[in-house]
Structures are given as structure tokens and as C-alpha cells.
Amino acid sequence: MASNEYVVFKGKVRLGVPFLDGYKGDPHYVIVSDDEKGNEFRIVTNVKSDSSLTGPAGYLVLYVLNQNFDNAITADLAKLNAGVTTSSFPKLDYVHEEGLVDLSAMRPIPLDTASEHNDINALVNEMLQLDMSADPVNYVYPTPSYKDERRGWKPTKDVTVYGFGFLFQPGEDGLHETHMNQGNPKPMKGSHVKDHSNENGVSQDGAVIVEVDGKYQALFVAFQTQLVPTDDRGFPIPGESHPILD
């Protein structure tokens, strides 16, 4: 179980900041939003894996984009106040919650190339209704260890975003881990794969859901190293669990 707090954030999108060549830090798309007081709140979502378990393709995250997310939780989301909610909100579970996400439909997706428009940056740009033909806005992405000058684009419509994940610490001015947070195996001794098994848990999966003109879209992300099904603690089941793509 992750040590920081699992929450949902609701706010209006100010900028979408795709991860482009030359940026510092881990590859994350940054959704810049306003909280209930008009302060900046950042939702970051993984656009590349840190695992080369299956060769170059191992760097690709897995995703499902539901462009017509018609789920009972949307009624609960609509009732939420703007800002961070820490209790009494619909907690997500990719594996154990029937009807939330079709894991068999997950597919690997590249990050960003000069010639393709079906990469994960483009996918999130479209979700956020960004005008990519407009001049970009200069945006300084702050972290505890560095600041990075990036480019963002504004949405063309009023976009409400719901980010599910874990609060940044100590500032609590953003959230991350907007992906499946269970099914991480304990790496074998000597493996180059990072150990994320301490992040396993149930009813704590991340996602990005947006609402535009009363319609919802949902982006669900996982990693090729994660295994399903999981037990009641979110851990792979010996002899039964397998990679999602299987």
C-alpha cells in the first residue's frame, strides 16, 4: 500500500502540458488545473514505463480510453466539490470492480514521435480539447529538486478533470500514480526492474476522467509488468496471475 494519501481531485483544466523531447525528469504528461481557490494543481500521468522487460516495447504503457464513459460513478463525481476530496468518493479498482475497465482491451501505446499522431501525448491532448494549432504557453513545471521550462496549450472548451491518485508530498499541490496500483510482482534477485510491490493495494487505482459538455471520457493506464488477477491485498496470486496482455 502506498504511504501517501489516495484522493480524487476535481477542477477546471487550465493547460495541457505534453512530455516532449528535451524535458527533465520522468516522462509524465502534466494537466494543470485550478483548485477551489484558484490555485494551481497538477495531475501527472505516466506516458512511458521504466521497464524494458520485453525489449523496446516494454517502455510502452498500456491504456484503455473510454470515450463514452457511462458508469454509475459519474453521478457521484458530479456531486463532488472542486478541489481535493479525501473521503466518501468512489474509489477505483481495475481488477475487482466489475464494469469499470475492460483489461482485455488494454493496448501498448508509444510516447511521442515526429510522424505519429496516435501516441499517448496526442491522446491526452484530444481528451483535454487542446488547440494544438495555437501558440504554446510557456510553463515552468516545479518539482522539489528542479524546475523545467515546458510548453502548454489551452483547452478550447470548458473541461472538468477528475484525477484519481496519490497526493504530492509535502506540498499536496498535485497528484500522481494515475495508473493501476496493484499487481506489481516482487522482482527476482538481480532483475533490473524496479520494485513497486510496496505500492500494491485494492480500491486505490488511478485514472484521469474528463467531463466536456456533460459527457465523460476516462483514461485507464497500467504497465506491462503488472499481473492479474490480484488477491484481496492487491498482490499477484502465485500460479494464477499473468501479464495483462496475456
Query: What is d(CA 35, CA 82) in angstroms, rounded to the nearest whole number?
Result: 6
pLDDT of 145: 87
Mean pLDDT, the chain, integer? 90
Angle, vertex CA 26, rays to CA 227 and CA 43, nearest 5: 80
Split into its structural domains, the chain has a count of 1
Which residues have CB under 8 Å from 201's CB, separation 6+? Answer: 1, 2, 181, 182, 233, 234
| pTM of structure | 0.93
Q: How far is CA 17 from CA 31, 50, 160, 213, 220, in A?
A: 6, 20, 16, 22, 18
Residue 47 lies in a domain: yes
Class of residue 10 by CB neighbours under 10 A (exposed 0-12, middle 13-18, buried 19+): buried
Angle, vertex CA 230, rays to CA 224 and CA 233, nearest 5: 120
Q: Tell me: the pLDDT tens digits for 134-190?
A: 999 999 999 888 999 999 999 999 999 999 999 998 889 999 999 999 999 988 777
Residue 67 lies in a domain: yes
Kindly state the percentage of the chain with pLDDT values over 90. Answer: 70
Q: Tell me: the pLDDT tens digits for 29-69?
A: 999 999 888 899 999 998 887 665 556 566 688 999 999 99
**Mean pLDDT, rounded, for 83-97:** 96
pLDDT band at 3 (very low <50, low <70, confident <90, very high): low
Kindly state the percentage of the chain with pLDDT values over 70. Answer: 91
Residue 29 lies in a domain: yes
Residue 1 lies in a domain: no
Range of 37's domain?
A: 6-243
